[in-house]
Structure 1
Amino acid sequence: MDEVTKVPEYKLFINPNDLKELKRDIWNDEPVPGRLTIEGKRLEIDLSYRGAHIRDLEKKSYQIAFYKPNNFRGSKIIHLNAEYMDPSLIRNKLSFDFFSDIQVLAPRSQHVFLTQNGRPEGVYLEIESVDENFLRRRNLLKGSIFYALDGDANFSLMSELDKETKKSLSLGYERKWGDQKENYYLEEFIFKINTIGKREFEKEIHNFVDVNKYLRWIAGVIFTSNYDGFVHNYSLYRNGETGLFEVLPWDYDATWGRDVNGKTMEADYVPIDGFNTLTARILDVNHFRKQYVNLLKEIMSQQFTLDYMVPRVELLLQLIRPYVLRDPYKNKEIEQFDKEMDVIKEYIIGRRNYLKRMMVSLE
């Protein structure tokens, strides 16, 4: 566990006219120019708001695209998340780090303190963009990346939104990286998930998805309790070497005992067997289900414990606390911030108890 002792300070400058244009329509994705200074280095950028419902919040989240120079530290794009609905401001990072610890591909992230035109904007989470540079850093450039945009990314032939057969099997996804032909592999994958016979499924599914990695991803969703994790908050990566799909986490602030509105979430709210078509079919196979249960037991004995998680939570909370006091949107909630360790601890205890009970039904 790497110990970081200081939060980097990012200085953002936007021309007042451009700032006015940015605020005029928060749903407009067209960027405005700006300048971001990091450790004394001035970077010319394009900037836009990011997110769906979070754009309505007082503290905005941003997408930053570098254009002079056209990349910084190997990235063309970074995301600055306000983490406004999370009283701890650490759940997203805590989740990404947890996924990495259980050997699931996940974005890297770090907390930063942002100022805009000389005024403090507060604590933000800088998140690595899942794109070609994400793959390049990991020597995985061959392949493709799809973003799950909405509930239609449910691995089903049926639209979650329209309640009818999908007009396209790539509905709910946006291709972020890869050639047009990669859409064919995605559509074939979804078609096969829904049409392979029960007897053939155990063998045939290995031609389309890395089952071992998929089970690890399910486990990550289950331990963190991301309610939207099965049908929305993820990216798909097709490994160009193996030809198999893997799933990556995204947007994990509503986790570790709090929901998307920042309210307390019951430890049994997200079911142990998830709720998308691919997960249901995989866990319907005895061999895969036993493998999944053994994986849950392994992680519960190693990473998903108070001994393992509490020091990581403490480190993050202690790191950002002085900066939360400078955050104009969060400093009045410092009392709640200081209680978040107990909320997360209670969640871990409750979730462990729930999972232990439910594993019996899966065995």
Structure 2
Amino acid sequence: MPYQIQSYFLEIKKANLQKLRKDIWSDTPVPAILQVGDTRNNIAICYRGSYTREFRKRSYMVKFMEPNTFSDAHVIHLNAEYRDPSLFRNKLSLDFFQDLGVLSPESHHVNLIRNGSLKGVYLQLESVDEIFLKKRGLPLGPIFYAVGNGANFSLYKKGKRKKSLTSGYTKAFGNESDDKYLIELVKQVNNTPLTDFPRIIFKLIDIEKYARWLAGAVCTMNNDGFTHNYALYRNSKTGLFELIPWDYDATWGRKVSGGIMEVDYVPIGGKKTNHLSFLLLQVPEFRTLYRNILEEILETKFTVPYLTNKITSLHQTLRPHILRDPYKKKEIELFDGETEVIFQFIHDRSAYLKKRLKYLKS
């Protein structure tokens, strides 16, 4: 059943809009009003993303001020998904991770109208913060966003030793003292002999959930997802870290640029630039666990029959809204062809991975 797409009405004074446009790289928000249905919310808003800020259709970070929550959220992200011809790869990915048992943000599409002018279809992303944890009944614990390629679980970045072991991360939730958990994790990953690796590292990471996250990243083929595009959450009850996927638009066969990505671009073990995955895959216990999980996913969930209804529903729901999107309506033929692009990718990627399962045998 296609889901409903709401309209969000953004009211922002001309002077504040000019302020945003004057420095698109600024993370300093400006005041505005966001109306959804009959509810008017005082908000603070700014652009979000890295290279995407230079696009004609930009993404936003919205913080609710009064009331300070909206639909059980204090912060939401409105992603333009500008380079994705389908506009639903990100949602498809995050929902897929949920199916795999991986913590993953909720997402849904909305129409954004700014000062009476339609700005098109956006994907609303749930923020990974303390409210994210509370909604799921999870113990509070520090959350680190991987915001740069320095989030590679290594002591080095591009051959140079890092000045800080928290390099590549920004803290989304937690206290300054919580940095010690991240620092300890990186130290142990790099200083523990391989013979002791399972005994030490398995006490720091939820190893099954890590294997499921890795399988999801490998199946969807997010080339950027191994050294950033994830959040790192430490469960204070178990003392174990979990990875949460984030920004998965360049997936299902499309590059960040929007071009087609070769089906073998990401190997079955993920990118070796993720030092933790590289080391874990040398541990027989983890390699067997990962192989079994990936094999099951390839037989049950990463299949065209399993994903057809989801993909078709998203396409059918979005199509009438794409026809009105000022940035996308001229690309309707490209949009209409995306379901087949994704189906072909699933078929080819699955075949590629199945052939390489033998390399994961202990």
Give the alignment's TM-score, normalised by structure 1: 0.97
Summarize deviations over 1:153-199 as a string: whole Å, max 9, x none.
Answer: 00001123xx3111211111111111222100100000000111111
Q: What is the distance in 1 between the residues matched to 2:2 and 2:311?
A: 13
Q: What is the distance in 1 between the residues matched to 2:281 and 2:3?
A: 43
- Give, in angstroms, the shift of residue 74 of structure 1: 1.4
Q: What is the distance in 1 between the residues matched to 2:60 and 2:169?
A: 21
Q: What is the distance in 2 between the residues matched to 1:281 and 1:345?
A: 33
Note if contact 1:226-1:252 (Cα within 8 Å) is conserved in structure 2: yes
The alignment status of 1:219 with 2:231, answered yes or no, reads no
The alignment status of 1:248 with 2:221, answered yes or no, reads no
Q: What is the distance in 1 between the residues matched to 2:7 and 2:139?
A: 31
Q: Please show how residues 62-101 of structure 1 align to structure 2 within 5 Å.
A: 62-101=60-99
SS of 1:359's partner is helix
Q: In the alignment, what sits opposite 1:349?
A: 347
Q: Which residue type is aligned with residue 54 of structure 2?
A: D
Q: Which residue type is aligned with residue 223 of structure 1?
A: C
Q: What is the distance in 1 between the residues matched to 2:16 and 2:194?
A: 57
- Give, in angstroms, the shift of residue 5 of structure 1: 3.6
- Give, in angstroms, the shift of residue 6 of structure 1: 2.1
Q: Could you tell me which of 27, 30, 34 is aligned with 2:28?
A: 30
Q: 1:81 to 1:202 in 2, by over 3 A?
A: same
The alignment status of 1:196 with 2:192, answered yes or no, reads yes
Q: Which residue type is aligned with residue 157 of structure 1?
A: L
Q: Which residue type is aligned with residue 195 of structure 1?
A: N
Q: Which residue type is aligned with residue 236 of structure 2?
A: G
Q: In the alignment, what sits opposite 1:327?
A: 325
Q: In the alignment, what sits opposite 2:177?
A: 181
Q: How many residues align?
A: 359
Note if contact 1:132-1:141 (Cα within 8 Å) is conserved in structure 2: no
Q: Could you tell me which of 271, 278, 281 is aligned with 2:279?
A: 281
Q: In the alignment, what sits opposite 1:169?
A: 165
- Give, in angstroms, the shift of residue 310 of structure 1: 1.3
The alignment status of 1:233 with 2:199, answered yes or no, reads no
Note if contact 2:204-2:241 (Cα within 8 Å) is conserved in structure 1: yes
SS of 2:327's partner is coil
Displaced runs of 4 or more, over 3 A:
none
SS of 1:143's partner is coil
SS of 1:242's partner is coil
- Give, in angstroms, the shift of residue 294 of structure 1: 0.8
- Give, in angstroms, the shift of residue 269 of structure 1: 0.6
Q: Which residue type is aligned with residue 208 of structure 2?
A: N
SS of 1:36's partner is strand
- Give, in angstroms, the shift of residue 32 of structure 1: 1.0
Note if contact 2:2-2:316 (Cα within 8 Å) is conserved in structure 1: no
Note if contact 2:298-2:354 (Cα within 8 Å) is conserved in structure 1: no
Q: Which residue type is aligned with residue 97 of structure 1?
A: D
Summarize deviations over 1:208-229 as a string: whole Å, max 9, x none.
Answer: 1111110000001001000011
Q: Which residue type is aligned with residue 168 of structure 1?
A: S
Identity score, percent? 48
Note if contact 1:145-1:177 (Cα within 8 Å) is conserved in structure 2: yes
Note if contact 2:85-2:334 (Cα within 8 Å) is conserved in structure 1: yes
Note if contact 1:110-1:126 (Cα within 8 Å) is conserved in structure 2: yes
Q: In the alignment, what sits opposite 2:294?
A: 296
Q: Please show how residues 63-142 of structure 1 align to structure 2 within 5 Å.
A: 63-142=61-140
Q: Which residue type is aligned with residue 278 of structure 2?
A: A
